Amino acid sequence: MPARDLARLIASYTQPGDLVTDVDDHPIVARAAGYLDRHYRRLHTSGHETTDSGRTGCHDTCPRAVLVLVRLPRADVDGLDLHEMTRAMHTWRTLLRPGGYLLVALSPPGSPDGRGSHRATAITVARTAGLSWQQEFLVVTAPLAEYEPRAMPDSAAVSPAVLVNRRHLPALVKLLAFHHRTGGDDA
């Protein structure tokens, strides 16, 4: 995601001095949080365990974040397995303080084999974990073509397809926003 767009999201969801947590260790997140006068903490999660600077069980001892950023799919979590995703989403929810937000970036937006939807699974398990659905963002990551030559009647037959491995190159990232409601910590 472009740094400017990421900084806008962090500024929209947090206030100066708030804690921003990134599960994927993107240096742009740390720089944007620092620039905006937010505290930054990188956490590693694996299944239902969270580590911070080598400590396990951090969700019991670490301050909770106002904003947690996560990317799906993940190597340590099958994004289409409801049970596994529910455990991971519950872990991410425990990192949030009540009133905080979880932003989930979907890249690619769906499974390549078509067996399921990361978006639908994330929304379902977030509700199960006690998070409420807020909204979906589309963040453009590459310039979009002004027109598609293959859609023009006079050039469709002669224009080569611009595909990589029979797929178009991604030009956007979907972000799903979930809210950790105040008024309780139990899911």
Please report whether residue 161 resides in a domain: no
Contact 36, 7 (CB under 8 A): yes
At residue 106, the pLDDT reads 84
Please report whether residue 150 resides in a domain: no
At residue 118, the pLDDT reads 76
Please report whether residue 148 resides in a domain: no
Please report whether residue 152 resides in a domain: no
Please report whether residue 154 resides in a domain: no
Reported confidence tier of residue 20, pLDDT bands at 50, 70, 90? very high
Please report whether residue 48 resides in a domain: yes
Reported confidence tier of residue 158, pLDDT bands at 50, 70, 90? low
The per-residue pLDDT of the chain, averaged, comes to 78
Please report whether residue 156 resides in a domain: no
SS3 content of the chain, % helix, strand, coil (to 5): 25, 30, 45
Host domain of residue 125: 3-143+169-180
At residue 187, the pLDDT reads 43
Q: For 130-140, what is the mean pLDDT?
A: 89
Q: Is residue 100 scored above 80 in pLDDT? A: yes
Give the model confidence (pLDDT) of 30-70 as tens digits: 999 999 999 999 876 554 445 554 344 454 556 789 999 98
Q: Is residue 166 scored above 90 in pLDDT? A: no
pTM equals 0.76
**Between 35 and 116, the higher pLDDT residue:** 35
How many domains does the structure of the chain reveal? 1
Q: Is 5 helix (H, G, I), strand (E, B) or coil?
A: helix
At residue 19, the pLDDT reads 96
Q: Is residue 135 scored above 50 in pLDDT? A: yes
CATH number at residue 28: 3.40.50.150
Q: Is residue 3 scored above 60 in pLDDT? A: yes
Please report whether residue 157 resides in a domain: no
Contact 21, 64 (CB under 8 A): no
Q: How far apart are CA 74 and CA 134, in angstroms?
A: 22
